[in-house]
Structure 1
Amino acid sequence: MATLHRRLLRLVARFGLNVTDLAPGTVLLSRRNSPRVESVSTKTWLVSHGKGKKRSAERADAAVKKFAIAQGMRVHQLGGGAQLVVSGAADKVQAPVERAASQYLGRQHAAALLRHYQVNCVFDVGANIGQYAKHLRRDGYTGRIVSFEPVQKILEQLREAAKDDPDWLVYPCALGREATSTEMNVVFGSMSSLLGPSEYGSTRYKRFAKTRTQEIQVRRLDEVMDEALEGIDEPRPYLKLDTQGYDLEAFAGAGTRIKEFVGMQSEVALMQIYEGMPRMAEAVPIYEDAGFEVTGMFPVTREESTGRVLEFDCMMARAESLPNGAVVAPREVG
């Protein structure tokens, strides 16, 4: 597969395209100013071409398709100058490809929202080891990032990731409705939470059996905003929430200052992994009441045996915050 990958890269280069690895065996070809191929999962690539001359675009698409078919691969035209190239049996790669493609499209949607609403500060709540912030940088965001992570071992990795980025700040705390000290349930990976696992969560994720606790600090978002935004002329903040069931509590801690945010995203649940975790039907109306409107929904986790979606990454914007002179362009942010 490595040799096949290199041959695909050489072919793409001949047409002035960019190849981005999505995952082993999967690439994305793109045709914009700097086209790219990104690996989305095992044996699957997303190839995005972007904008360009129609004839050149058609030739590039045809070349990729011809090459892929000759190698026993499948090509799916996604529209908007993108192709999904898949190697392997459909029944073996469908689930990871779908998951990875959704994550990729969600990242692209978020990046477009930040550009469209001219965001200059992203509050990254539940930062873990900095995956979200790293993707922001890769997708072209150059503004400030303010990450919050309370778990000590993970915090060390986050600080290491941010150390060479002067406009990436790290706060060693969680955010909530009240400023306090409390115990965090520390779980392997990215599943630590201030909430305990539900019966369903404990059954699905065996790692909850090895939960330990750590004393952490919880602060209110409205108490840290002035410090976090210091030095930014005309702040246009965006709020990203990924707190393993605690998003509404972190959101409440913004108080009336939530009106200052031009957009946000939150993981909204259909299945409760944590005890007391709000469901999507409860969370989305609260965000809407605060003035945000949904711009996109992207599955985060899915129960493969049944096909049920457990959580969506819900992205929202405050339409009234659209910069003066900007034109709403659904194709740009969708």
Structure 2
Amino acid sequence: MQTLYRRLLTFLPRIGVKVLDLGPGAAVVFRRGDRTGVPVGQGAHLVAQGKGRYAVTSVGSDSWLVARGAKGRKATSVPFGATGARLLLDEAVSAEAEREFQLGAAHYLGAQHVAALLELNRVNCVFDVGANIGQYGKGLRRFGYKGRIVSFEPVSITFEKLQQAAESDPDWQVYNFALGREEAVQSIHIDWKSMNSLLPPSEYGKERYKRFAKGRTEEIEIRRLDDVMQKALEGIEDPRPYLKMDTQGFDMEVFAGAGERISEFVGMQSEVAALALYEGSPLMGEAIAAYEAAGFGVTGMYPVTREPATGRVVEFDCVMVRPGASGSAAG
């Protein structure tokens, strides 16, 4: 015998009220449009507008992934250490994309690490050397850094885009020259996408990147870091600068140009090479040894590029800090 509840659900559509029956003791009534019900876990439903098809995949004891489509997407939930966070991995990702996933995760984690270091060490001015079109500066703002940014980009067409990125940010300064060991005018290899360099490509670099066989050169100005620091830090009470370098093999020259004033930097990061892409650029061991000799200690190493065939890391983003710069003991 049909219950009063069931008879009511049958009657409602006759008077213009729509019913989405979710099972014993549960229903959704509405006047307009359509609704779709999808079971979620035990005793729960997802109610969505429209007639779209959805699939639900459990990704933990109390979490679900909801995807539009008849088949949906399968995901695996992986605990992120002891943080309480979980990482969702799409099971449809191919094995070929695994290294790209690793590099993407490294970039995100590296940016988070730098943001935390800037806050911990009370950094109020970031020197962004090799700024390209402003990706690093925009990333700093996205992760909550509110201090001054001073960016250096020597290539004229790239500098125009950097200016546009910084034009609405009153505490982001941009300069159209490079930094190095000494003042000079020198040719830079350009039209290598984001890999413009003052150094010629190595034999390994030519093999790795076909773009190195093309391109052209442009005359640029090079200045020393210690000569531009005073102007860059003007108006900042108790400056606590941080040095970021990404100059395609020229980082050690930039570092040398800081002279004795390198001691004023509370932290730094440099793209160090496990495999040399540029002729004359130092390898990772030499670069890190020089940075450590100046008083910095490694806090993180994040792969930037890998060889597709072997998986070997070509370059790392090396993040360093001067011990004791935060004024508190490390945990």
Q: CA deviation at 1:89?
A: 3.4
Residues 122 and 237 in structure 1, CA contact (< 8 A), matched pair in contact too: yes
2:204 partner amino acid: Y
- Report what 1:82 is aligned to: 85
- TM-score, normalised via structure 2 length: 0.78
Q: CA deviation at 1:210?
A: 1.5
Q: CA deviation at 1:128?
A: 0.3
1:1-334 equivalences in 2 (<5 Å) = 62-65=61-64, 67=66, 71-79=73-81, 80-87=83-90, 88-323=92-327, 326-329=328-331
Deviations 1:143-180 (A, max 9, x none): 00000000011000000000000100001010000011
Q: CA deviation at 1:94?
A: 1.0
1:178 partner amino acid: E
Count how many residue pairs are aligned between Structure 1 and Structure 2: 270
1:322 partner amino acid: S
Give runs of ≥4 in structure 1 deviating > 4 Å.
65-70
- CA separation of 1:97 and 1:231: change in aligned 2, threshold 3 A: same
SS in 1 for 2:188: strand
Identical-pair percentage? 56
Root mean square deviation, CA, Å: 1.9
Q: CA deviation at 1:320?
A: 2.9
Q: Which has the higher helix share?
A: 1
Q: CA deviation at 1:65?
A: 4.9
Q: CA deviation at 1:203?
A: 1.1
- Report what 1:30 is aligned to: none
Rounded Cα–Cα distance in structure 1 between residues aligned with 2:288 and 2:64: 41
Q: CA deviation at 1:76?
A: 1.9
Residues 197 and 273 in structure 1, CA contact (< 8 A), matched pair in contact too: yes
Structure 2 gaps, min length 5: 1-39, 41-57
Q: CA deviation at 1:234?
A: 0.1
Query: Is the radius of gyration larger for structure 1 or structure 2?
Result: 2
Q: CA deviation at 1:70?
A: 7.3
SS in 1 for 2:324: helix
Q: CA deviation at 1:129?
A: 0.4
Q: CA deviation at 1:66?
A: 5.8
Deviations 1:178-230 (A, max 9, x none): 01111111133210000000111111111112120000000000000000000
Rounded Cα–Cα distance in structure 1 between residues aligned with 2:140 and 2:62: 31
- CA separation of 1:265 and 1:230: change in aligned 2, threshold 3 A: same
Q: CA deviation at 1:90?
A: 4.2
2:78 partner amino acid: H
Deviates more, 1:244-253 or 1:82-91: 82-91
2:88 partner amino acid: V
SS in 2 for 1:215: strand
- Report what 1:33 is aligned to: none
Rounded Cα–Cα distance in structure 1 between residues aligned with 2:85 and 2:138: 23
